[in-house]
Structure 1
């Protein structure tokens, strides 16, 4: 019985970890699929509108079924917060697609490593994390944030020589023809998307504390993002034929983004946020690098540059510095709590 309880406890504790691994895998794959669709002519504005609209249609009935017995009332205050959440989500969505369109999916996943650093800065500003430069944990988290931003600057501003520029496929002919890339513009757009993603995590955490119905929040959020991205698309997309999707990669990208990247990933992230906090969730973004590099270089003929590799190493170094600081801080808190419990127990024995 004890072994069974121990196994169940271990599995329960591992669920946020497993959930975030699946979430970042979905995100990395979506970047690849979207890159192919955009290369074949699909507008990233339209991709954002249709994918969020599809997610809205899925999430609303699922949300009401899941929370039908304990559905809290949606007040105007909560709706305003979700609308703000939608603004950050819309900016992250369109910024990410536009950045990938101007650069590559590999750069997109590398700059996701900025999310933990931005999240830490925002969490400190809004007092979700403590900044204590007198302790090694606080120094490690702060330095890790700075190093992550430095690594992002390297991958954005420095390409260097090509390390691998031939696809390792059975067919030597190109699968797709890549358009001219604007690496710096793509990097800036992706950095903006990373900041927006970090802000999304902070706002989402604050909403979940007062409205603990993850799927309803994500459903309303997707509705707002659909409305916001539609307005942006109507202004920015002059070619009205772009709204018509053919039964090709564009349709595949919409279906994958709507069902997997938005519906599944955002729900899993919201579920994990309620149990672990925004910093833990953001720390999984570096896992997308490996997935994206392998798919991008092998199947999409993306060129792998020395600057990307060097910058990614610096980014991951900063990422693990933040993780180490967070783990050490948690260990200190656990030890401090244990000492307080022992002290209280001893006081109770002495008084008895």
Structure 2
């Protein structure tokens, strides 16, 4: 009996925290992506070609799973829905990724990785404006969501603008990565591209929640976004990249970074994010983005021997505290909403049960039952 209760308790905990676990694993996947793509770009691969190939790899891998596993639940793809998915692909794939990787040429990976964390705050603001996210400042849960968002922005700002003293390395780096020392810095252009990618990324998360209501097939939606995003990125790359040699990759780091980005990131992790968006909403998904910056900084410092500044540590702590506050606010909102739904339906449940009349007999078959609203 005790074993059954323990198993039931564990199952309940797993169900409750499954989205949290999946999103944390997704951030680990993004962390490895940072290092493998950096090595590939240093090797000479064009970022726009990388995005194009990565999306086509994802489409090829995800198509059979989407076709066979979602045959019964996949809605009919109308022209209006196809155009909506095309816009979703444009926002989240071709626009965001191409601007993101292009900005790396003009700024620095640390700057871009830090700025991407503003996606959570931008998504929260847009979701509130579009009334996809509830915000009740009369209760502690509403204040926690606002304060958590502001703290996350403050933490990102601290990591970006304040360096502080360099923390001393405790040991020699375990791995040495070859990096190009010549960086063509153009901070204004790079900052504009980074901000643009953050805005389209936020809109993409918001639109995911809207599209999933009309097309609740995450595998199929992932496959369609990968394919359409690849086509859009290919058209853009052909316009800006005229050298045919840029499209040729060998069986080296360029190949493996493309496979990893296509299968793990654009395939598996995007599917996980779509599932979590449907379960918890777009703000929940974006609030885990700061973990990527923290994990990247930790691996770069402890494993690769890169410089770590005090400002990065302080900012990371602020981001984690803000993340906890916002997630607490969202969990409290969901509990309140669940209790409200239960109370609203409880009178109906009582009406549906076998009631007795004043004489002690059961309710007659012709009695009218009130529908649960």
TM-score range (shorter-chain normalised) is: 0.7 to 0.9
| Aligned CA-pair RMSD | 3.1
* Aligned residue in 1 for 2:80: 77
Q: Contact conserved, 2:95 with 2:200, CA < 8 A, in 1? A: yes
Q: Contact conserved, 2:54 with 2:258, CA < 8 A, in 1? A: yes
* Aligned residue in 1 for 2:363: none
Q: Contact conserved, 2:163 with 2:311, CA < 8 A, in 1? A: yes
2:100 to 96, 99, 108: 96
* Aligned residue in 1 for 2:122: 118
Q: Contact conserved, 2:31 with 2:296, CA < 8 A, in 1? A: yes
* Aligned residue in 2 for 1:195: 199
Does 1:254 find its partner at 2:258?
A: yes
Q: Whose RCO is larger (CA < 8 A, sep 6+)? A: 1
Aligned residues: 351
* Aligned residue in 2 for 1:25: 28
Q: Check 1:229–1:152 CA distance in 2 against 1; reply closer, same or farther (3 A cut).
A: same
1:194 CA displacement:
3.0
Q: Contact conserved, 2:42 with 2:179, CA < 8 A, in 1? A: yes
CA distance in 2, matches of 1:174, 1:264: 27
1:333 CA displacement:
3.3
**What's the secondary structure of 1:42's corresponding residue?**
coil
1:217 to 221, 237, 241: 221
Using the TM superposition, name which of 259-268 and 235-244 deviates more.
235-244
1:46 to 34, 41, 49: 49
CA distance in 1, matches of 2:113, 2:280: 23
Q: Check 1:332–1:71 CA distance in 2 against 1; reply closer, same or farther (3 A cut).
A: closer
CA distance in 1, matches of 2:304, 2:196: 25
1:328 to 332, 335, 354: 332
CA distance in 1, matches of 2:17, 2:132: 23
CA distance in 2, matches of 1:328, 1:286: 22
CA distance in 2, matches of 1:289, 1:264: 20
CA distance in 2, matches of 1:351, 1:327: 42
TM-score, with normalisation over the residues of structure 1? Answer: 0.86
1:275 CA displacement:
1.7
2:145 to 113, 138, 141: 141
* Aligned residue in 2 for 1:152: 156
CA distance in 2, matches of 1:165, 1:184: 29
Q: Check 1:13–1:145 CA distance in 2 against 1; reply closer, same or farther (3 A cut).
A: closer
Give unpaired runs (5+ residues) of structure 2: 359-373
2:62 to 59, 62, 66: 59
1:187 CA displacement:
5.3
CA distance in 2, matches of 1:228, 1:195: 19
